[in-house]
């Protein structure tokens, strides 16, 4: 499987997307738009403007801008990854996200909002927390102490610090297998998936971290625990907000954190839906290849998500930095960017209608190639004319 190389090795490479990545700093500040419009107009319904932007206008922008299939030539990648401009964008985004999260709490605490306005702010603040997790994802894969520390810091507002362990050491090991709570199965709705994914991620994170600490001869309940470190930051932040804004702010922080974390669930749901790595003769699963992830090259949403949607290359090469991630030909491909796919996923019949045949067109109708929901296996086999073979996912 070869990546598209649009530039001759003899041509000096110039990243045409270089300044587009700065959008990642601007988009989270849309948290100011709804409150600003409400203060200006007195109409709390305008708090929904950022929500509409994320889940309505961004899919439309993706549709009209189309897809970017270009890649940097491999000869340019070392210089591209060493360029500190790209790292400084991620560094600067961390305080922007913290400020946006704190602003949301302050705004809610200082106003008597109608229920729908409060719900809009939960979703706005939750979107900020979702961007926090996305940044923590990008930084957490890197080997520098600064980036790893920043990853834990940005995961703290939404109380999802265990992602630092679970994703890097758990999901990347088990992705696109029945063992992975963060890989969705064909026929599984996002609402059933979240009941498996969120607790499963928490349990796996603690199993991995307790094993690491035990092998290192370190106590579980100590500052060496990489789950407790961001958890302490969460407690400090939330306690400070409760002292400043009053204890009732906790009634806003908890649902906002849940919506933040549900954005991660949404991403996990669309990224590996129904795809399955094969087991080798020794019982281990084959290494994760680009075709074990759903990919999206939609331009705008990739600009604001650090190319998270080029998920195929990310899983095959997790240390590769966002500016170097590649498009590959002949991959499982999503029909929209993540924000559009999230909306589809929230309506399960629409998701199954859009994705099940797309999955089967990609992997065939042999159950040994499909990560099936065990509870719906018989119904799916009958409905889609699947062929049962030995070694199929269970």
Among the listed residues 78, 70, 87, 79, the one whose alpha carbon sits nearest the alpha carbon of residue 17: 70
Residues 27-56 have a mean pLDDT of 95
> Among 77-86, 167-176, 197-206, 277-286, which is the least confidently predicted range?
277-286
Quote the CA–CA distance of 184 and 268 in Å, as a whole number. Answer: 7
Per-residue pLDDT tens over the stretch 85-102: 999 999 999 999 999 999
**Strand-pair partners of 234:** none
Is the distance from CB of 361 to CB of 381 less than 8 angstroms?
no
Q: What is the pLDDT of residue 245?
A: 97
Per-residue pLDDT tens over the stretch 314-365: 999 999 999 999 999 999 999 999 999 999 999 999 999 999 999 999 999 9
Among the listed residues 262, 221, 15, 287, the one whose alpha carbon sits nearest the alpha carbon of residue 125: 262
Place of tokens 């290359």: 313
Which long-range CB contacts under 8 A does 102-106 form with residues at least 24 apart? 102/241, 103/31, 103/32, 103/35, 104/31, 104/128, 104/256, 105/241, 105/245, 105/249, 105/252, 105/253, 105/256, 106/245
For the beta carbon of residue 114, count every other beta carbon within 10 angstroms.
Answer: 11
Which long-range CB contacts under 8 A does 148-152 form with residues at least 24 apart? 150/90, 150/91, 150/94, 152/226, 152/229, 152/230, 152/233
Q: What is the pLDDT of residue 1?
A: 43
Q: What is the pLDDT of residue 146?
A: 97
Decide if pLDDT at 12 tops 80.
Answer: no
Per-residue pLDDT tens over the stretch 209-225: 999 999 999 999 999 99
For the beta carbon of residue 217, count every other beta carbon within 10 angstroms.
Answer: 6
Q: What is the pLDDT of residue 33?
A: 96
Is the distance from CB of 367 to CB of 389 less than 8 angstroms?
yes
């Amino acid at each position: 499987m070869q990546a598209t190389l649009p530039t001759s090795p003899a041509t000096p490479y110039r990243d045409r997307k270089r300044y587009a990545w700065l959008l990642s700093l601007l988009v989270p500040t849309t948290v100011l738009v709804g409150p600003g419009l409400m203060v200006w107009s007195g109409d709390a319904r305008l708090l929904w403007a950022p929500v509409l932007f994320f889940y309505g206008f961004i899919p439309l922008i993706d549709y009209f801008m189309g897809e970017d299939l270009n890649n940097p030539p491999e000869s340019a990648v070392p210089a591209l990854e060493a360029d500190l401009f790209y790292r400084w964008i991620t560094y600067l985004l961390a305080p922007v996200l913290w400020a946006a999260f704190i602003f949301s709490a302050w705004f809610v605490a200082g106003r008597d909002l109608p229920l729908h306005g409060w719900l809009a702010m939960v979703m706005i603040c939750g979107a900020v927390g979702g961007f926090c997790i996305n940044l923590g994802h990008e930084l957490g894969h890197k080997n520098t102490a600064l980036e790893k520390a920043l990853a834990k810091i940005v995961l703290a507002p939404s109380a999802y610090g265990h992602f630092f362990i679970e994703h890097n050491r758990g999901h990347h090991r088990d992705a696109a297998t029945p063992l992975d709570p963060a890989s969705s199965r064909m026929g599984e709705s996002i609402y059933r998936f979240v009941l498996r994914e969120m607790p499963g991620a928490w349990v796996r994170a603690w199993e991995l971290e307790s094993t690491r600490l035990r092998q290192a001869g370190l106590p579980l309940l100590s500052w060496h625990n990489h789950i407790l470190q961001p958890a302490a930051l969460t407690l400090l932040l939330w306690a400070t907000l409760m002292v400043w804004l009053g204890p009732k702010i906790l009634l806003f922080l908890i649902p906002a954190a849940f919506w933040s974390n549900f954005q991660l669930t949404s991403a996990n749901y669309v990224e590996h839906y129904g795809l399955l790595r094969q087991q080798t003769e020794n019982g281990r699963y084959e290494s994760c290849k680009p075709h074990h992830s759903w990919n999206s090259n939609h331009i705008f949403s990739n600009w604001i998500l650090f190319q998270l949607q080029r998920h195929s290359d990310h899983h095959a090469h997790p240390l590769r930095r966002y500016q170097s991630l590649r498009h590959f030909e002949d991959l499982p491909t999503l029909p929209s960017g993540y924000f559009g796919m999230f909306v589809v996923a929230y309506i399960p019949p629409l998701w199954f209608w859009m994705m099940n045949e797309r999955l089967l067109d990609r992997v065939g109708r042999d159950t040994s190639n499909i990560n099936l929901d065990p509870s719906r296996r018989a119904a799916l086999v009958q409905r889609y004319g699947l062929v049962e073979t030995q070694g199929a996912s269970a």
